[in-house]
Chain A
Amino acid sequence: MAKKRSLLRRIGLLACHTGLMTGALLMVMPMLWMLATAFKPPTEIALWPPQFLPTDWTTANFTGAFETAPFARFFLNSVLIAITSTAAVMLTSLVAGAVFAKYRFPGRTILFGLVLATAIVPFEAYMIPLYIQLVDIDWINTYQGIILPYLFMAFGIFLMRQHVSSAIPTELMEAGRVDGAGEWWILGRVIAPLSGNALAAVGIFAFIQGWGIFIWPLLIANDQLLFNMELGLTAFQFRFSADTGKLMAGSTLSVVPMLIIFLLMRRRIIENMALTGLKG
């Protein structure tokens, strides 16, 4: 009886693993299919039945993509947007988070409440008025206009506040004050060095978000020279939708940096996403 039960258990476990493996395969399949297609010559792309791996590996799609559209420029724009946004979000989250966590001043509760309450409102719901505001100050079709909404993150402020209020002892700040340090010095030399992990979490979020922004550049960037990868890819798609190989090569260029970052920091990213998701 006991033997039979353990055999059943083993079969069950095997079935579970088979299911998980199949699922895992389905998860990576779209990315692998994109990669494989990016290295295929046109004759192998329009092929029925389709073949998964290329027979004649070629990099022609990549060089071709760079020739037909300014993908190098798109890529640089993406890098620029993501890095500026990440740096700004980290800075604004640190300052605002620390102030909300450790200082008492009139308006604190209301202001922080406002940050939290509006965090839930989706960007898509107020992009029209924001667009009109930027028309008024003539920032349409500029880098600063594209980046502006991504310089702070309500969620980042929230996260830093949580961290500073729970992990940074007020006595340490007091000790600094007794030694005659100013508040900015305390912020930069006491709070910031002790907030590495939380800041990294905020930075990762900001980078992932900044790299993938699409609808805002779609509205505000008209000049091709301002396009990020995401926008450049869609523009390319509509103009050369038949050129699947180049399209996949371009898509690969947009995905690979994220994949590298993810694989290097996967544990941290997954843990952060899970924990921060739950705190909210």
Chain B
Amino acid sequence: MLFCYVALAPVLALFFYVRIIPIGFSFLLSFYKWNLISPRRPFVGWDNYLGLLDDENFLLALKNTTIYSFSTVLLSTVLALPLAVFLSRKSRLSAFYQTVYFLPVITPLVPVSIAWKWIYDYNYGILNYGLSFLGIKSVAWLTDPDIALWALVIMGVWKVLGYNLVLFLVGIRNISGELLEAASIDGASDWQRFWRITLPLLKPILLYVLVTSTIAAYNVFTQVYVMTLGSQSAPGQAVRMLVFDIYTNGFQFFRMGYASAEAVILTLIVLGLTVIQFAMVREDKVKEG
């Protein structure tokens, strides 16, 4: 037993220092006003939270992040599902497609954001060039914050599509072939098999993917920082997102308490999403049982 504690001690010490304490500390800090340097750190109660309710930047960030997350997740799921169904058939090309679609998942975000920024470039961007063939005039993808949000969504879908695809693929392959075959013998069409068998059996994985990718999407930051912040093509017109707002309040304006209140909101959103997932999975199990 002594061994257990001795072996765990370093890991747990680290775990408490870099995770448990900061998480607790962030709740605490959200009730204070502090600029990081001042020896004064007055307790302000719910003021930071009340301030957030009137803060246009925060509300915009919350709205943008929500739109971003739900659009990215929805689009990538809708695209990944049929791809997974198709690739689940044994085919020599299946492995090739998986590799290619998975590629963006493992590439680091900063360089790919830089590449996407160049793709979206107003003057020399390959996207505007491509659109010109369809008779569409050049779009200011990153300069206009309203359009930039969708530019970020497109890139977000590109990045996460392969991950969803591979998870769905595993889920579909786990569905018994006999079940599908029996349905076909009974005269079910491909569509019926998909809606009546594949999709219902895929539901737990679908839920898992929806929730985890929504959570991941809520933390969007790097793309926003690289693609829309204060460079020549987009002078200071960053798309307001939650983590970006936390970063700005905390590390540009040094409003540590205020930024912590925002961080607490982010934590609560994530927890809420997780609870919803658990509840839905449990409900399913109850129905089955």
Contact A262 to B103, CB < 8 A, known contacts A122-B215, A122-B218: yes
Q: In the complex, A277→B246 CA distance in Å?
A: 28
Any B CB within 8 A of the CB of A57: no
Q: In the complex, A157→B19 CA distance in Å?
A: 14
Does B83 contact A23, Cβ atoms closer than 8 Å?
yes
Stretch at the interface among A61-69, A163-171, A195-203, A253-261: A253-261
Any A CB within 8 A of the CB of B62: no
Interchain residue pairs A-B with the least CB separation, the first 7: A251-B111, A129-B25, A212-B108, A126-B22, A129-B22, A34-B115, A230-B110
Contacts of A244 in B (CB 8 A): 118
Q: In the complex, A141→B264 CA distance in Å?
A: 26
List 7 other contacts, CB 8 Å, given A124-B266, A154-B15, A230-B108.
Answer: A152-B15, A234-B225, A237-B114, A241-B232, A248-B114, A258-B107, A278-B205
- A to B contact number (C-beta, < 8 Å): 266
Contacts of A280 in B (CB 8 A): 208, 212
B34, closest chain A residue (CB): A132
Any B CB within 8 A of the CB of A178: no
Any B CB within 8 A of the CB of A180: no
Any B CB within 8 A of the CB of A174: no
A135, closest chain B residue (CB): B36
Any A CB within 8 A of the CB of B70: no
Any A CB within 8 A of the CB of B69: no
- Shortest beta-carbon distance from A174 to chain B in Å: 15
Chain B contacts with A in 1-59, Cβ cutoff 8 A: 1, 3-5, 7-8, 10-12, 14-15, 17-23, 25-26, 29, 36
Counting chain A CB atoms within 10 Å of each CB, the highest count among B11, B86, B97, B162 belongs to B11
Does A30 contact B112, Cβ atoms closer than 8 Å?
yes
Does A128 contact B26, Cβ atoms closer than 8 Å?
yes
Does A214 contact B109, Cβ atoms closer than 8 Å?
yes
Contacts of A247 in B (CB 8 A): 114, 118
Counting chain A CB atoms within 10 Å of each CB, the highest count among B15, B20, B104, B267 belongs to B15
Q: Mark A45-76, 1 if CB is under 8 A from B, else 0.
A: 11111101000000000000000000000000
Q: Mark A220-260, 1 if CB is under 8 A from B, else 0.
A: 00000000011101100110011010011011101100110
Contacts of B124 in A (CB 8 A): 45-48, 50
Does B115 contact A20, Cβ atoms closer than 8 Å?
no
Any B CB within 8 A of the CB of A159: no
Does B29 contact A128, Cβ atoms closer than 8 Å?
yes
Number of chain A residues whose Cβ lies closer than 8 Å to a Cβ of chain B: 94
Q: In the complex, A133→B103 CA distance in Å?
A: 37
Does A24 contact B14, Cβ atoms closer than 8 Å?
no
Contacts of A148 in B (CB 8 A): 14, 18
Q: Mark A19-47, 1 if CB is under 8 A from B, else 0.
A: 01001101110110110010000000111
Contacts of A184 in B (CB 8 A): 3, 7
Any B CB within 8 A of the CB of A113: no
Any A CB within 8 A of the CB of B156: no
By secondary structure, the B interface counts as: helix
Counting chain A CB atoms within 10 Å of each CB, the highest count among B115, B225, B271 belongs to B115
Does B158 contact A151, Cβ atoms closer than 8 Å?
no
B positions within 8 Å CB-CB of A = 1, 3-5, 7-8, 10-12, 14-15, 17-23, 25-26, 29, 36, 83, 86-87, 93, 95, 97-112, 114-116, 118-119, 123-126, 129, 158, 161-163, 166-167, 169-171, 205, 208, 212, 215, 218-219, 221-222, 225-226, 230-233, 243, 246-247, 250-251, 256, 259-260, 263-264, 266-267, 270-271, 274
Contact A259 to B83, CB < 8 A, known contacts A30-B158, A128-B256, A234-B226: no
Does A30 contact B215, Cβ atoms closer than 8 Å?
no
Does B99 contact A237, Cβ atoms closer than 8 Å?
no
Contact A277 to B18, CB < 8 A, known contacts A24-B100, A37-B118, A122-B266: no
Contact A255 to B107, CB < 8 A, known contacts A121-B267, A215-B247, A242-B232: yes
Q: In the complex, A277→B284 CA distance in Å?
A: 20
Q: In the complex, A49→B131 CA distance in Å?
A: 12
Does B118 contact A183, Cβ atoms closer than 8 Å?
no
Does A255 contact B250, Cβ atoms closer than 8 Å?
no
Q: In the complex, A154→B125 CA distance in Å?
A: 41
Does A129 contact B4, Cβ atoms closer than 8 Å?
no
Q: In the complex, A205→B120 CA distance in Å?
A: 30
- Shortest beta-carbon distance from B86 to chain A in Å: 6
B112, closest chain A residue (CB): A30
Does A118 contact B20, Cβ atoms closer than 8 Å?
yes
Does A27 contact B104, Cβ atoms closer than 8 Å?
yes
Q: Mark A83-122, 1 if CB is under 8 A from B, else 0.
A: 0000000001001100100010100100100110010111
